[in-house]
């Protein structure tokens, strides 16, 4: 899960949401300085009403304390259709290492009932997070992110633990919950651990990491840790089939190992060995997947000379691998989007230059829109009915005109680079790779990695509605919009907010060329569009995005290029005629000569256009 916004997260579960003033009082009583507060939020899953605490972190990160007036969302929005919880989870707002089911697994801990039995029925929680987002100020007009390179995870989590313990006397506080380590403690238990660690001058591992164990079968046993990722370290897991070693002994040994690794900053990796209970020699192996949920990197320890592990451990590892691959995919998409979003201005300048080039005129404009001269050809070669029907079908593409050309040229100075995701494409899209074809896309109005990714998730749900795979009554607005799959020039409409869970998503009709699309693995389609509720839009070819030479076959003249040239020549002749003053015999001859040349030019290009029309009719 991405750590760009939040690097740490813990929570205090509550019977009901506390008041903001009460929260402020508790924190200030324990010596914390309030930098800012916010009483209203349009996205409480991401940031509820809360406070910002001053910190002394070297990288400038701050501590956010916010009130979430809803129970902990244990599925984190990954089941069913995307919601605001889904987006918040993708931004790491419930913990950068939190996984679905963390709260349920915490409830299954043997010590849960004695620690905080009321936590199961909590109705709200107070969330403590280290935020890397540094908002804009009068001194720094642009928002930025704190550096992760000089962050100290141990200091960060220690700060959050102490701040959470400040709520120990809050009447509605039920329990401390760490979603990253799937750990539940009573508020008194948390305070006791912090007091003890301060007295003996050691790190409060017991409040950060959870150690658990279980029998695997009649012979094998297993213990592991959860939560070391909060400190930038691997968790540990021990599997053995030796009757001399009890799970309780291995529990104690593992907890001592965690203290040693953190307090001494001791590196551990594949091939390292350690002596455990009964002088057993254990050997470590780095693994990307654990034997048990949640998915995370681990050091897997086995006794030297041990027999092969049972299949049950391998099965758990396979399930964790699948979940980790899904999380890694989200991280990969976010990284790619961050990379290209940072280059939007460069891409815009390249696209603006392309709009003024001959390539745009010949390859895009003369391929996406119909020249008026084509109607003259159809009227002379087809029956009135066929000509009328064909022209009506072509008219949906938009007719070339000075006004249309000006709209495209305005994009050069006023257009914005938008990253869209596909909704539906023309059936011929993969066959006619060098032809502009009508397609439908979805654009997130907030061009952030989170919104673009969620737009892609929503597109799958919208396409299911279009195909009849989901009940249109569940999302009537979306069903109405996608039911019309005809191309409408420069059409854009916002999906109902109550059907997108608050995401501002536009449904747009665009002309796309397959050979101009991004390569496999790029999760967006680059567009240059006029900002606002309406305006022109154009696909930006990938070679323009990257500033590289195009493939020759991808910049062939469009299907209407020759007919379009005929129109432009005619316009030029008419314009020249209007500018000239014809007088006397010489003027009359010049006018007659220009008119004759104009007629001959039309006759020539009509012959060319006939071929274009016949080819189009064959495709139809």
Q: Which one of 193, 208, 223 terminates a domain? A: 208
Let me know if residue 259 belongs to a domain.
yes
- Helix, strand or coil, per DSSP, at residue 614: helix
Where among 328, 359, 382 does a domain terminate? 328
> Is the same domain home to 286 and 383?
no
pLDDT at 2: 37
CB 66 within 8 A of CB 48: yes
| pLDDT higher than threshold 80 for residue 135 | no
In a domain, residue 174? The reply is yes
Q: What band does 430 get if pLDDT is binned at 50, 70 and 90?
A: confident
Q: How far is CA 372 from CA 381, 438, 510, 571, in A?
A: 15, 20, 21, 11
Sign of the Cα torsion 263, 269, 272, 274 reads: positive
Instruction: Supply the DSSP symbol for 219.
Output: S
- Residue at 175 is within a domain: yes
Q: Is residue 334 part of a domain?
A: no
3-state class of 521 per DSSP?
coil
Q: Give the DSSP per-residue string, 412-461.
A: HHH-EEEEEEEEE--TTTTT-TTS-EEEEEEEESS-SHHHHHHHHHHHHH
Structure tokens at 309: 């592990």
CA distance 443 to 480: 18
- Helix, coil or strand: residue 144: strand
Choose among 331, 483, 508, 354: nearest CA to 419: 508
Higher pLDDT, 590 or 270: 270
Q: Is the pLDDT of residue 282 over 90?
A: yes
- Rounded-to-integer distance, Cα 188 and Cα 402, Å: 76
| Domain of residue 232, residue span | 209-328
pLDDT higher than threshold 60 for residue 318? no
* Candidate from 110-119, 194-203, 222-231 with smallest mean pLDDT: 110-119
pLDDT band at 82 (very low <50, low <70, confident <90, very high): confident
The reported pLDDT for the residue numbered 582 is 46
Residue 533 is predicted with a pLDDT of: 80
Indicate whether 213 and 202 sit together in one domain.
no
Long-range contacts of 84-88 (CB under 8 A, 24+ apart): 84/43, 84/45, 84/46, 84/501, 84/502, 85/45, 86/454, 86/457, 86/501, 87/45, 87/46, 87/450, 87/451, 87/454, 87/501, 87/503, 88/43, 88/45, 88/46
Residue 587 domain-assigned (yes or no): yes
**583: number of Cβ within 10 Å:** 9
**pLDDT given at position 77:** 86
Q: Residue 371's pLDDT is what?
A: 84
How much is the average pLDDT of 42-53? 89
Q: Are 362 and 558 in contact (CB under 8 A)?
A: yes
Q: Which percentage of the chain shows pLDDT scores above 70?
A: 81
pTM value? 0.57
- Give the three-class secondary structure for 306: coil
Domain count of the fold of the chain: 4
How would residue 574 be classed by pLDDT, with cut points 50, 70 and 90?
Answer: low
**Who wins on pLDDT, 596 or 378?**
378
Looking at every residue in the chain, the average pLDDT score rounds to 84
Per-residue pLDDT at 404 exceeds 70 = yes
CA–chain centroid gap for 569, Å, is 48
pLDDT at 108: 85
**Last residue of some domain: 504, 522, 556?**
556
For position 454, what pLDDT does the model report? 84
Instruction: Give per-residue pLDDT as tens, 216-230.
Output: 888 999 999 999 999
CA distance 482 to 496: 12
pLDDT score of 238 more than 60: yes
Whether the predicted pLDDT of 160 surpasses 80: yes
Q: Percent of the chain scored above 90 by pLDDT?
A: 47
Segment (H or E) for 610: helix 584-619
Task: Using alpha carbons only, give the angle 499, 505, 511 rounded to the nearest 5 degrees.
Answer: 130
- Mean pLDDT comparison of 339-343, 357-361, 456-460, 574-578, highest-scoring range: 357-361
Q: What are phi and psi of 77, to 5 degrees?
A: 75, 15
Asked whether residue 405 falls in the same domain as residue 541, the answer is yes
| DSSP string of 535-573, one letter each residue | --EEEPPHHHHHT-PPPGGGGPPPTTHHHHHHHHHHHHH
DSSP class of residue 109 equals: S
> 456 to each of 78, 93, 483, how far by Cα in Å?
14, 20, 19
Rounded to whole angstroms, the Cα distance separating 48 from 43 reads: 7
d(CA 434, CA 437): 9
Domain co-membership, 306 together with 242: yes
Model confidence at 596, pLDDT cuts 50, 70, 90, reads: low
Confidence of residue 139 (pLDDT cuts 50, 70, 90): low
In which band, very low, low, confident or very high, does the pLDDT at 577 lie, cut at 50, 70 and 90?
Answer: low
Q: Which of 67-76, 186-195, 592-601 has the lowest mean pLDDT?
A: 592-601
Give DSSP secondary structure letters for 79-98. SSS--HHHHHHHTTTT-TT-
Residues 203 and 213 in one domain: no
Check residues 51 and 614 and name the one with the higher pLDDT: 51
Which of 465 and 581 is assigned the larger pLDDT?
A: 465
Whether 338 is in a domain gets the answer no
Q: What is the pLDDT of residue 565?
A: 72
Query: Cα–Cα distance between 142 and 5 in angstroms, integer?
Result: 16
Q: What is the reported pLDDT for 86?
A: 83
Based on the fold, state whether residues 213 and 203 are members of the same structural domain. Answer: no
CA distance 437 to 418: 19
Residues 434 and 387 reside in one and the same domain: yes
Q: Is residue 34 located within the same domain as residue 182?
A: yes
**Burial 327-362, CB ≥16 within 10 A → b, else e:** beebeebbebbeebbeeeeebbebbbebbeeebbbb
DSSP reduced 3-state for 14: strand
H helix or E strand, kind and range, residue 38: strand 34-38
Same domain for 355 and 318, yes or no, is no
333 occurs within a structural domain: no
The answer on 244 and 356 residing in a single domain is: no
- Lowest pLDDT segment from 1-10, 22-31, 168-177: 1-10
Instruction: Please report which confidence band the pLDDT of residue 80 belongs to, taking 50, 70 and 90 as the band edges.
Output: confident
CB 379 within 8 A of CB 372: no
In this structure, of 174-183, 268-277, 363-372, the range with the lowest mean pLDDT score is: 363-372
Terminal alpha carbon distance of the chain? 48
pLDDT above 70: residue 315: no
Residues 6+ apart with CB under 8 A from 123: 14, 15, 16, 17, 70, 71
Judge if 182 and 271 occupy the same domain.
Answer: no
- Please indicate, yes or no, whether residues 173 and 69 belong to a single structural domain of this protein: yes
With contact defined as beta carbons under 8 Å apart, do 316 and 217 qualify? no
Give the confidence band of 332 by pLDDT, cuts at 50, 70, 90. Answer: confident
Q: How far apart are CA 66 and CA 127, in angstroms?
A: 5
Least confident range of 22-31, 200-209, 303-312:
303-312
Please say whether the beta carbons of 143 and 74 come within 8 A.
no
- Mean pLDDT, residues 11-36: 94
């Amino acid at each position: 899960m991405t750590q760009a916004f939040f690097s740490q997260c813990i929570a205090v579960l509550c019977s009901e949401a506390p008041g903001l003033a009460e929260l402020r009082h508790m924190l200030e009583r324990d010596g914390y300085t309030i930098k800012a507060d916010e009483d209203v939020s349009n996205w409480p899953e991401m940031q509820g009403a809360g406070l910002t605490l001053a910190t002394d972190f070297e990288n400038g990160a701050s501590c956010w304390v916010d009130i979430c007036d809803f129970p902990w969302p244990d599925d984190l929005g990954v089941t069913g259709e995307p919601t605001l919880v889904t987006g918040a989870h993708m931004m790491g707002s419930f913990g950068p290492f939190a996984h679905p089911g963390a709260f349920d697994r915490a409830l299954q801990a043997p010590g849960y009932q004695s620690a905080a039995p009321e936590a199961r029925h909590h109705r709200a929680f107070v969330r403590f997070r280290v935020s890397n987002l540094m908002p804009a100020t009068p001194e720094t007009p642009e928002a930025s992110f704190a550096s992760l390179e000089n962050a100290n995870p141990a200091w960060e989590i220690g700060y959050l633990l102490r701040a959470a313990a400040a709520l120990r006397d809050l009447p509605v506080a039920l329990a401390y919950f760490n979603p990253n380590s799937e750990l539940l403690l009573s508020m008194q238990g948390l305070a006791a651990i912090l007091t003890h660690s301060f007295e003996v001058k050691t790190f409060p591992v017991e409040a950060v990491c959870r150690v658990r164990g279980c029998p695997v079968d009649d012979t094998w046993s297993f213990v592991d840790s959860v939560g070391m990722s909060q400190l930038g370290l691997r968790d540990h897991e021990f599997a053995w089939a030796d009757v001399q070693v009890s799970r309780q002994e291995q529990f104690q040994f593992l907890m001592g190992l965690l203290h040693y690794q953190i307090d001494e900053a001791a590196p551990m990796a594949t091939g390292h060995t350690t002596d455990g209970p009964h002088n057993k020699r254990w050997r470590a192996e780095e693994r990307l997947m654990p034997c048990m949920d949640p998915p995370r990197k681990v050091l897997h320890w086995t006794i030297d000379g041990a027999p092969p592990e049972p299949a049950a451990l391998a099965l758990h590892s396979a399930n964790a691998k699948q979940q980790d691959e899904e999380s890694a995919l989200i991280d990969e998409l976010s990284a790619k989007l961050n990379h290209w979003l940072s280059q939007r201005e460069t891409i815009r300048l390249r696209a603006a230059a392309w709009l003024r080039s001959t390539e745009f005129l010949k390859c895009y404009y003369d391929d996406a829109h119909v020249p008026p001269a084509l109607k003259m050809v159809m009227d002379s070669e087809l029956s009135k009915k066929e000509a009328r029907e064909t022209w009506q079908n072509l008219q949906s593409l938009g007719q070339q005109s000075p006004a249309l050309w000006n709209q495209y040229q305005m994009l050069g100075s006023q257009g914005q680079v938008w990253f869209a995701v596909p909704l539906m494409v023309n059936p011929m899209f993969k066959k006619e790779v060098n032809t502009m074809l009508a397609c439908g896309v979805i654009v997130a109005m907030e061009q952030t990695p989170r919104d673009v990714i969620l737009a892609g998730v929503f597109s799958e749900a919208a396409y299911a509605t279009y195909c009849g795979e989901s009940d249109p009554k569940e999302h009537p607005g979306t069903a109405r919009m996608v039911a019309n799959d005809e191309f409408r020039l420069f059409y854009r409409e916002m999906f109902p907010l109550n059907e997108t869970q608050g995401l501002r998503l536009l449904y747009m009709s665009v002309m796309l060329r397959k050979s101009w699309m991004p390569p496999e693995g790029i999760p967006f389609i680059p567009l240059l569009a006029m900002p606002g509720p309406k305006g022109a839009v154009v696909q930006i070819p990938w070679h323009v995005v990257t500033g590289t030479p195009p493939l020759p076959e991808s910049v062939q003249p469009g299907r209407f290029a020759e007919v379009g040239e005929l129109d432009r020549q005619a316009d030029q002749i008419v314009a020249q005629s209007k500018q000239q003053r014809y007088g006397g015999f010489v003027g009359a001859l010049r006018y007659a000569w220009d008119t004759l040349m104009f007629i001959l030019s039309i006759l020539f290009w009509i012959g060319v256009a006939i071929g274009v029309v016949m080819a189009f009719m064959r495709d139809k």
